[in-house]
Amino acid sequence: MSMTVRGRLLAAIFSVGLGGALVGPASAETLADAIAMAYENNPTLQAQRATQRALDENYVQARTGWRPTLSLSGQAAWQESRTPQDAAGFDFLGRPNPTIVNGRSASAGVTFSQPLWTGGRVAAQVSAAQAEILAGRENLRRIEAQILGQVIQAYADVRRDEAALAIRQENVNVLSRQLQESQARFDVGEVTRTDVAQSQARLAQAQALFQQTQAQLAITRATYAQVVGRNPGQLEPEPSLAYLLPSDPDQAFSIAEQNNPQLRAQQFTEQASRARVAGARAERMPNVSAQSTLRFNSAPDEPYERDLYDRVFTAGVNVTVPLFSGGLVSSRIRQAVERNNTDRLTTEIVRRGVLQNITSAWSQLIAARANIASSDEQVRAARIAAEGTRQEQQVGLRTTIDVLNAEQELRQAELNQVTARRDEYVAAATVLSGMGRLEAKNLTPTVPRYDPVKNFRKLRLTWGWVPWEEPIGIVDRVLTPWPAPTPDSKPVEAPIPPGLQPPPAVTRATPPR
């Protein structure tokens, strides 16, 4: 872990003071600011973008099957041959004198090869690469929705825990005053030691819960820093997501079937495997290519004399017809077909999973909205009950334990209220993620967006492209009995305005005099 990341995490942990005060930037921070920061700097999202750029290269590599190749080869050699003489030739030590023959040679050549027709092999590879690239773009959308969902959850968690910490702090303050009051009344003999002990026990419990909430807030702040890239400051209330939500679950199902990135990615994956089936069948077709070679061969004894080189030029058309492969091609065809069947069935599995997730998230959203209404009513009633119990204690109609119980119910109701609001917001974000609408273009439309198509366009005409590969590609795609389907990019839903807007300021009505 780098010192910078370690420092951020430690800052997130210790930014919650012992007294409960939050340390953060003076300026307010909105959810749109957090999303913009994560969209630009989150390493997981950046890594997925790099993965997509690497995937774009598969298209270039597949199209090289239609492009020519040019190679240069050269050779220089020296050879010595020793042949023993007959018995008549001996040196002064009595050893036979061998016959030594030295030879030198050199050659150089240039070979040009151009595919003319591959029987649909390269066309299938190109179609599969295109489908994989489209699937990769959908996976990038899925990762983006996942990161933005984490940002929204972390943002809501920090605000929930900050509100919970304030409630716990207020509970400690109220119980501290209650203990002082019980002690004073005990000193004058109005209550017993039991009342004081009850107040002490509730105060100790409240202090322990305050410490737990403080630790939980430090954890959520660290999670926020990990996802967004900086510690949370003074977080503004969450803006409404209603402009992105459908009116009913049927509409959510319909949008998810058209726009869910996981489902769309699986559909493109099935198209890629279908193209590979056509590629496997194309292995039965002939392969035609043109080739020419220009070679220079040296004279046997003068390899470095330029005028003594022989020049040989050859040109021709090569036709390769597969006749028998021992069943290899047939096996590959059956394998490709079954893999395509797997991808086709997986598409239905993913579709059902998406609909199930939408159903679950929509049900949680409805339950959370109902819980908000119930918790609001619970807080209102518990506040009235706590105040009434406190006043009744003053006239002797209630005991200390009654007051303590009423205060505990009020604090629990307030905690339920902030938790219900957090759950409703996160459930709404989950519905949008399942529908495929949890994207930066809908949440922060003014922030510059990353366009994966831009990098692909740059690779369309790059080094190695030749103008005649286009007609060769058309011929290769048409003149085959098993043409590979060309994947079509699915329509993308247009951005939905107006984006995340700050909630309207709450104006309090002036009470009548």
| Count of other CB atoms within 10 angstroms of residue 257 | 16
* In the block, residue with structure tokens 């300026």: 27
| Across 29-49, average pLDDT | 96
pLDDT at 369: 95
**Peptide bond between residue 498 and the one before it cis (omega within 30 degrees of 0):** yes
pLDDT at 4: 52
Q: Which of 480, 390, 357 is nearest to 174 (CA)?
A: 390
* Span 122-164, pLDDT tens digits: 999 999 999 999 999 999 999 999 999 999 999 999 999 999 9
* Residue 506 structure tokens: 């709450």
- The more confidently predicted of residues 106 and 35 is 35
CATH code for the structural domain at 73-80+97-117+288-321: 2.20.200.10
* Residue 235 structure tokens: 């977080």
Helix 193-228 crosses helix 400-435 at what angle (to 10 degrees)? 20
pLDDT at 21: 37
Q: Is 144 exposed, middle or buried (0-12, 13-18, 19+ CB in 10 A)?
A: buried
Contact between 407 and 174 under an 8 Å Cβ cutoff? The reply is: yes
* Span 313-366, pLDDT tens digits: 999 999 999 999 999 999 999 999 999 999 999 999 999 999 999 999 999 999
pLDDT at 503: 72
pLDDT at 297: 81
CATH class, domain 28-67+118-285+335-478, is mainly alpha
| Across 454-459, average pLDDT | 91
Q: Which of 60, 57, 64, 58 is nearest to 469 (CA)?
A: 64
pLDDT at 242: 95
Distances in Å between the Cα of 329 and the Cα atoms of 127, 289, 477 are 20, 21, 20
Position 296 confidence tier, pLDDT thresholds 50, 70, 90? confident
Q: Which of 493, 75, 96 is nearest to 295 (CA)?
A: 75
Q: Is 101 helix (H, G, I), strand (E, B) or coil?
A: strand
Could you tell me where the DSSP H helices lie in 15-71? 31-41, 43-63
* Span 159-186, pLDDT tens digits: 999 999 999 999 999 999 999 988 998 8
* Residue 456 structure tokens: 């692909």
Q: Which of 29, 37, 32, 426 is nearest to 235 (CA)?
A: 29
| Across 420-446, average pLDDT | 96
DSSP string, 404-453: HHHHHHHHHHHHHHHHHHHHHHHHHHHHHHHHT--SHHHH-TTSPPP-HH
Phi-psi region of 119 (alpha: psi -120 to 50; beta: other; left: phi over 0): left
- In this structure, of 397-406, 478-487, 502-511, the range with the lowest mean pLDDT score is 502-511
Pairing outcome for strands 98-117 and 69-84: antiparallel
Question: What's the whole-model pTM score?
Answer: 0.86
Q: Residues 237, 245, 358, 365: is their CA dihedral positive or negative?
A: positive
Position 489 confidence tier, pLDDT thresholds 50, 70, 90? confident
Distances in Å between the Cα of 206 and the Cα atoms of 166, 203, 363 are 12, 5, 34
Q: Could you state, in order of their start, the residue ranges of all structural domains in the chain?
A: 28-67+118-285+335-478, 73-80+97-117+288-321
Phi-psi region of 504 (alpha: psi -120 to 50; beta: other; left: phi over 0): beta
